[in-house]
Amino acid sequence: MTIFDQTLHPLPLALLRNLSGQGIKYATVTGTQAVGVYLELVAAVAGKKIRVLALSLMTSSAASTAYEVRSTNPGTVIGRIFANSTVPFVMAECAFGYFETVAGESLTIKDITGSTIYVNVTYAEVG
């Protein structure tokens, strides 16, 4: 068993940070965008990828709403999320990450309905 086998031996993010030298960072974003407009969650860092380690999203919309997580607008779709005002979307911490941007691009989210969204993201800059 290796120390990175999350099924048998999950590692907390703080321990992984110490093992790998990655700094864990956090961002909280609240915003209302027009339909189809991108909201920046994490700004681009030259030569670095933004790897999402955890994410939660809540919306003011009562209807289930789709969101696209992307590299810089209108970059590659790297995740789709569905949430509504009574059921938040939560990706619990994963030391290996769920997805990442292209190096040098920001992490954005597109709201399809124009509702207010509340996003918390835990990420690491890698590259």
CATH topology of domain 25-126: Jelly Rolls (2.60.120)
Q: Where are the domains of the chain?
A: 25-126
Percentage of the chain beyond pLDDT 70 is 73
Burial class (CB in 10 A: 0-12, 13-18, 19+), 118: middle
For residue 90, CA distances in Å to 3, 20, 22, 121 come to 25, 25, 23, 10
pLDDT of residue 105: 87
pTM equals 0.75
